[in-house]
Amino acid sequence: MSESHTPQSGSARLNTGVAHNARVWNYWIGGKDNYEVDQKVGEQVAGMFPVIRDIARADRDFLGRAVSFLAGERGVRQFLDVGTGLPTAANTHEIAQRLAPDSRIVYVDNDPIVLVHARTLLTGTPDGVTAYIDADVHDPDAILERAGHTLDLTQPVAVMMLGILNFVLDTEKAKDIVRRVMAAVPSGSHLVLTHPTFDDELGGAGQIPAMKFWNENATPPITARSGADIAAFFEGLELLDPGLVSCGQWRADAGSAVLVPQYGAVAVKA
């Protein structure tokens, strides 16, 4: 079954005159849900920081490996995917429900372009549930309240925050968001996170000028963080092997592993 809390006002909020992250990201991974302004900014950023396309693909591949690991090896049956982005191939519910048809997935985003396409995310297995809610990562209480209509928050949940906390510019606020969400889910829940970094060892120095250009020409504003700051999001949780690494290398086959300046990790709440 599927259910939706999607408002009808998504298209009314859509601004095609300014490049938007969801659409530019879609452009970088070869999607069609973008406009000329997104393509122009995307090309400019890629010219300044060519590895950005590799980051986009690596982040998407990380999602697939993480969901497969959690549904297949850890027995997770509930996923709260915050910062969904535009639907592409192999979305969270497709991967999880392929392995466990009774999986329940709630997608969360507030990008108007994502709202327009949200129905694509609402096709799941007869045994499972797929829902979409329009909510902002800055308001974790609203996310939890509305997610509770679909998920049983007394049972383990995989909280997925892929490439979303980089839009929360204040690090302490970002940490508080993670703490509040993880406090609301029980032991056995997992945090799945990716985040861009400027750390040299991952080749991240080029992120800084590219993000400066982005913040002057596109929306929403974004920030990179050090590995130490990103590791702090996992305080109180147990990092699972291989820990906090480039998302392109997390549990990747030797032949497909890539080093990109985007950290990724999965942790469990004891």
What's this model's pTM, rounded to 2 decimal places?
A: 0.91
Looking up tokens 């400027």 gives: 198
The C-alpha atoms of residue 51 and residue 48 are separated, in whole angstroms, by 9
The C-alpha atoms of residue 122 and residue 224 are separated, in whole angstroms, by 31
CB-based contacts of 41, cutoff 8 Å, min separation 6: 19, 24, 214, 217, 218
Give the chain's mean pLDDT: 91
pLDDT digits (tens, 9 = 90+) for 20-58: 888 898 899 888 888 999 999 999 999 999 999 999 999
The C-alpha atoms of residue 214 and residue 167 are separated, in whole angstroms, by 12
Helix (H) or strand (E) holding 190: strand 190-196
Contact between 260 and 227 (Cβ < 8 Å): no
Q: Count each helix (H run) and each strand (E run) in the chain, helices first.
A: 10, 11
The C-alpha atoms of residue 58 and residue 64 are separated, in whole angstroms, by 10
- On the question of pLDDT at 12 being above 60, the answer is no
Beta strands in 6-93 (DSSP E): 19-20, 78-82
The C-alpha atoms of residue 106 and residue 3 are separated, in whole angstroms, by 10
Find, among 130, 121, 116, 150, the residue nearest to 7 by Cα.
Answer: 116
Rg (alpha carbons) of the chain, rounded to whole number:
17
Structural tokens at position 244: 């906090």
The C-alpha atoms of residue 69 and residue 67 are separated, in whole angstroms, by 5
- On the question of pLDDT at 6 being above 50, the answer is no
- On the question of pLDDT at 9 being above 80, the answer is no
pLDDT digits (tens, 9 = 90+) for 99-138: 999 999 999 998 777 877 776 666 777 889 999 999 999 9
The C-alpha atoms of residue 259 and residue 238 are separated, in whole angstroms, by 23
Contact between 262 and 58 (Cβ < 8 Å): yes
Amino acid present at 30: G
pLDDT for position 251: 98
Amino acid present at 121: L
pLDDT for position 14: 66
- For the ranges 117-131, 182-196, 250-264, the lowest mean pLDDT is seen at 117-131
Count other C-beta atoms under 10 Å from residue 216's C-beta: 8
CB-based contacts of 228, cutoff 8 Å, min separation 6: none
